[in-house]
Structure 1
Amino acid sequence: MAMNRIPGHNIYVGGILSLKNKAALERENITHVVSVLRLSPSEELFSNFQHHKIDVDDVDYENLLEHFPAAIKFIQSGLDSNGGVLVHCAMGKSRSASVCIAYLLHQQRSALTPQSALEIIKQGRPLCEPNDGFMQQLELYHEMGCPDDVTTHPVYQRWLYRREVEDSVACGRAPEIKSVRFEDEQPMRPQSEDKGEVEIKCRKCRRGIASSKYIISHEQEKRSNARAHSNVDCAHIFLHPMKWMSSSLFPAAGADDPNGQYSGDAPLSGRLSCPNPTCGANIGKFAWQGMQCSCNSWVVPALCLTKARVDIANKPKTRGNPPPGALGIRLPPGMRPAENNDIGSGRGNL
């Protein structure tokens, strides 16, 4: 199976041997070639084509996601010039299929998912099967809305930060402070007006700690034990890293480097303390290696507040400027609105 066409598109998926099938390349009018592998075939093979190369190995941890936008743009340029596009890797199974899935997702953001796009490709080339890491990156790309620039997207940056954390934990170390993405220092996208804002405060001193935009939602998993309750309420609130956590996550940072560039050893796990210096109450815990919530879900890394030690309240939704009377301000006579059942009674005018 040298190369196969994706149904409905002038795009072909193949292995490295497909480059040597000159007759097939000419027959399908291949003008653009995307090479998704770290090997370096002879440049003579590409002398008659526009060529785009992506240096990645077929391993779960390889960052293929950052290459999607440039590859998609290149593929589209080939199609717009009425040519055919060959996307190949070593075997035409994982890396090349992943790039083609990304292209289909970008073209039909709302109609396709990574799995449904893969099924389309497998109609033409049944052996296609991206590795698990690439499928996860495709899911992430789809979640992001298939943007033309992924590197500046907050979801992508969080994903990179988590990869760095995993690397550090694998070596038995906490991440360095310079590699941690503190969410309250990042530009935030506006939240939907339909979503109520949640405010979290320290139960002891009432100091504000976090709000909805910093909370990480995690799905509750049903426990296999039939006697256990499958809908146990979560005892913790998991948060993205916030700057006030620094003193707990990196306890020596303040003394060693007031500029926040401390890179010494830090604990892998410990407690989160209230950021109010006169309070310092124990309000939660952290574990860079992750922890299991009471609902049976694992969260990695885990930075969480204990619900029993904080107060959670919904902020009232306000649209526009509320009338002065709604703020508890007593209005002067003549400005007080008459109630429906008091019309003509004279009340509110005295």
Structure 2
Amino acid sequence: MAMNQIPGQNIYIGGIFCLKNKAALDRANITHVVSVLRLAPSENLFSDFKQHRIDIDDVDDENLLEHLPAAVNFIQSGLDAGGSVLVHCAMGKSRSATVCIAYMLHQQRSGLTPQSALEVIRQSRPLCEPNDGFMEQLNLYHEMGCPDEVADHPVYQRWLYRREVEESVACGRAPELKSVRFEDEQPQRPQEPTAQVVEIKCRKCRRGIADSKYIISHDQEKKESNKYRSNQECAHVFLHPMKWMRPSLFPEAGPNDYEGDAPLTGRLACPNTSCGANLGKFAWQGLQCNCGQWVVPAIGLAKARVDIANKAPVRGAGNLPPTALGIRMPPGMRGPESSDGSGRGNL
């Protein structure tokens, strides 16, 4: 199949066979080629071009995200040199489209989404359709702000950690301790100067458990079934792993031990050893919140066993609501402060 030009760009997308059409490549002034496939074509096909190669297959669980910044940079270098760029895979449908979408997102961070960029490409090449895994990675790339490097970004690190967890669960076991990302051991980004945060404490001993940085937001799904009501308050607050959870998540591991079996599911105990209250539960394979949303992996604090309240606002924050400050909290924690003093529903 022929290669097609992306509207408004000196970028072309196609399958591997378009490399044999020298006349078309010359007419398009192709100087740079991005090859997104594991197949090794004849080197003679690329003798007249600068080539950037990404060796991956077109399957959902391939990590194309880690290659996007370098591919975007290579495409830009070709355009800056006054040439045109061909991005190809085997059929010009999934892998090549993903790389082209990433470039478009990088150029128009606020003007495009992965889906809208795909629609632009489909104007000239309707068959383009990145697989579901690649679309998820494009959404993450967009969420990160299309950075020039993704390896150290917290969003990327969490995604890698989740992939490891899913692989372990698929084998019927919990992840290894050494692969778990404890969020409070990671470098923290500077807090917004106007940020207002929620503090979670054990209801029994008042020990601090977590704050907004460690909460996993999840949206309530609207269900037609009576079992899940769209206005039903979530019974749990879901957290990223934190180091105080280690004895609950890995009960057989010693303080300096990173080996040993661990349960797939279990209870979370208060880190205050003189308290030890049951605060909630965890399930590496995921839990379905009573609002209907699945959280995977799931580490949930039962709202009935903790107190949730606003911390004193950071200087300059005034009484701005968290939504105005860019803090997106789970359902059931977005309403006004409750009158019973429990902190439930605060924010």
Contact 2:193 2:314 in 1 (8 A): no
Task: Give the AA of the match of 1:259.
Answer: N
Cα-to-partner distance string for 1:38-72 (whole Å, 9 max, x where unaligned): 00001111111001100010001110000000000
Higher Cα radius of gyration: 1
2:292 maps to 296
Cα-to-partner distance string for 1:248-288 (whole Å, 9 max, x where unaligned): 0000112xxx324x222100000000001111110010000
Does the C-alpha gap of structure 1 residues 216 and 92 become closer, same or farther in structure 2, counting only changes over 3 Å?
A: same
Alignment of 1:55-134 (within 5 A): 55-134=55-134
Does the residue aligned with 2:123 lie in a helix, a strand or coil? helix
The answer to whether the aligner puts 1:153 opposite 2:153 as a matched pair is yes
1:309 maps to 305
Question: 1:290, CA displacement in angstroms?
Answer: 0.1
Question: 1:104, CA displacement in angstroms?
Answer: 0.1
TM-score (normalised: structure 2): 0.89
Unaligned runs of 5+ in 2: 317-347
Does the residue aligned with 2:299 lie in a helix, a strand or coil? strand
Distance in 2, Cα, partners of 1:223 & 1:51: 50
2:264 maps to 268
Question: 1:195, CA displacement in angstroms?
Answer: 3.7
Distance in 2, Cα, partners of 1:315 & 1:137: 34
Cα-to-partner distance string for 1:95-131 (whole Å, 9 max, x where unaligned): 0000000000000000000011001111111111111
1:238 maps to 238
Question: 1:229, CA displacement in angstroms?
Answer: 2.9
1:348 maps to none
Does the residue aligned with 1:304 lie in a helix, a strand or coil? strand
Distance in 2, Cα, partners of 1:3 & 1:228: 48
1:138 maps to 138
Task: Give the AA of the match of 1:295.
Answer: C
Does the residue aligned with 1:253 lie in a helix, a strand or coil? coil
Number of equivalent positions? 316
Considering only aligned residues, what root-mean-square deviation do their CA atoms show, in Å? 1.1
Distance in 2, Cα, partners of 1:286 & 1:103: 39
Distance in 1, Cα, partners of 2:21 & 2:105: 29
Does the C-alpha gap of structure 1 residues 106 and 288 become closer, same or farther in structure 2, counting only changes over 3 Å?
A: same
Distance in 1, Cα, partners of 2:269 & 2:252: 15
1:279 maps to 275
2:325 maps to none
Distance in 2, Cα, partners of 1:175 & 1:245: 14
Moved beyond 6 Å, runs of 4+: none
1:259 maps to 256
Unaligned runs of 5+ in 1: 321-350
1:29 maps to 29
TM-score (normalised: structure 1): 0.88
